[in-house]
Amino acid sequence: MPIALLLALGAALQDPGPEAAALARQAAALAQDAETAAEVGAEVGVVAEADAGALDPDVEVDGDGDADAPPRAAGPVDTLPGAATLPAVAAGRITQMMFDDGAAAGVGEVWVWTPPSYGRDPRARYPVLYVHDGQNLFDPAFADAGQAWGIDEAITRLAARGDLREWIVVGIRSPRERWRALFPEKLYDFLPAARQRALAEPRGALVGDAYLGWMVERLKPYIDRRYPTHAGPENTAVMGAALGGLTSLYAVAEYPHVFGQGAALSARFALPDADTGPADPVGDIVAAWDAYLDSTHIDPQRNALYLDHGTAPAGEAAGYHAAFAAMMRKGGWPARHFESRRFTGAAPDVQSWRERIDIPLAFLDRYDP
């Protein structure tokens, strides 16, 4: 076990306060991970942590440096000597994790944000929100376009005024080949043959199922083991924007017993061949979604989906969103479990998503106070 966690465990034994108790639980959980990993025997992951207000670009990471230690598989439980650059957050704590087993889907780097109250009450448990393109969530310095969603700020603000529970946020860095990993893989099978042929990527090149499988079978179990979470679907949500929004809808459809609700901001329904492929792309794509959803176990009475779009530029997404919303309502989705919003003048960009992030967050929180 890393030295820092041994010290934390020792401190907790001497001081029964809530923060010390939380550290003790974390130390115990990581120790259990290490024991489980020793039995399985796979590669080592990396964890780095920092608190808001105490961030340094060269954050020192503890490690025991034991070259003879058995390989570990239960999660990124070891920290290695060296430095880690972490996103700055307005409040709460940020943790970086490096998983070694997401190569098939091109993923591995994850940031976990815990809210300001984390560790104060040893009895507290938290809902969890998984978000795609996690580098864009917290710190503009990490974001692709130099702007961040500010999701840590939004949750802290909403919770402080009593409009939202505090959530743990798990941000997953964009896959190396984003379109191949985030496109809903099984949707391909429901597209007309002519549209399948017009796509740049053949069916066999898509890895969306591997991406979601890694989230469900690897990432989520580790998060639920390490953190005090409410692990059921009613307290587990997934969110993304553009193509990440599309795969958020897909995640709920594929795993409705895992992700109880999902949010898709500016979901990118249009396929790359929309301008060059067969006619009526809106009709083809919405019909494919209709047939695909009918093949899944998603439940309009148990699951919940949020969808939105802006009208700029020139309302290019409006046709897709309107048709998708009509299809959902026809399929029996009640208003309390399906919401579709249009934002006049909003573009499909981070600034627009930042401005309206409060709305999907409130929708996703079934127990919003």
Mean pLDDT of 257-269: 96
Q: Is residue 348 a part of any domain in this protein?
A: yes
Q: Domain range holding 358?
A: 87-364
- The set of residues, in sequence order, having a beta carbon less than 8 Å from that of 124 and lying 6+ positions away, is 117, 118, 228
Does 190 map to a domain?
yes
Give the separation between CA 199 and CA 155, rounded to whole angstroms.
Answer: 39
Question: To which residue do tokens 């106070």 refer?
Answer: 369
Asked whether residue 119 is domain-assigned, the answer is yes
Flag the least confident range among 13-22, 58-67, 181-190, 309-318: 58-67
Please give the full DSSP string across 139-171, using - where no structure is assigned: -TTTSTTS----HHHHHHHHHHTTSS---EEEE
The reported pLDDT for the residue numbered 63 is 26
3-state SS string over 198-233? HCCCCHHHCCHHHHHHHHHHHHHHHHHHHCCECCCH
Neighbours of 278 (CB within 10 A): 15
Residue 336 lies in a domain: yes
pLDDT of 163 above 50? yes
Q: For residue 148, what is the domain's CATH number?
A: 3.40.50.1820
pLDDT in tens, 280-334: 889 999 999 999 999 999 999 999 999 999 988 755 578 899 999 999 999 999 9
Predicted confidence band of residue 51 (pLDDT cuts 50, 70, 90): low
Domain assignment of residue 51, yes or no: no
Dump pLDDT digits (tens) for 83-128. 458 999 999 999 999 888 888 788 889 999 999 999 999 999 999 9
Q: Where are the alpha helices (DSSP H) in the chain?
A: 3-14, 18-40, 151-160, 178-182, 193-198, 208-214, 220-226, 243-254, 281-294, 318-330, 350-356, 358-364
Main-chain phi, psi angles of 321, to 5 degrees: -65, -40
Its sign, for the CA torsion 326, 331, 334, 337, is negative
Lowest mean pLDDT among 10-19, 204-213, 304-313, 350-359: 10-19
Highest mean predicted confidence (pLDDT) among 7-11, 19-23, 27-31, 147-151: 147-151
Q: Tell whether 227 is covered by a domain.
A: yes
pTM of the model: 0.81
Answer yes or no: is 15 within a domain.
Answer: no
Q: Angle 89-94-99 (CA atoms, 0-180°, nearest 5)?
A: 140
Does residue 20 form part of some domain?
no
Domain count within the chain: 1
- Show Cβ contacts of residue 102 under 8 Å, excluding neighbours closer than 6 positions: 108, 214, 218
Residue 348: DSSP 8-state: S
pLDDT category, 255, cuts 50, 70, 90?
Answer: very high
**164 pLDDT above the threshold of 90:** yes
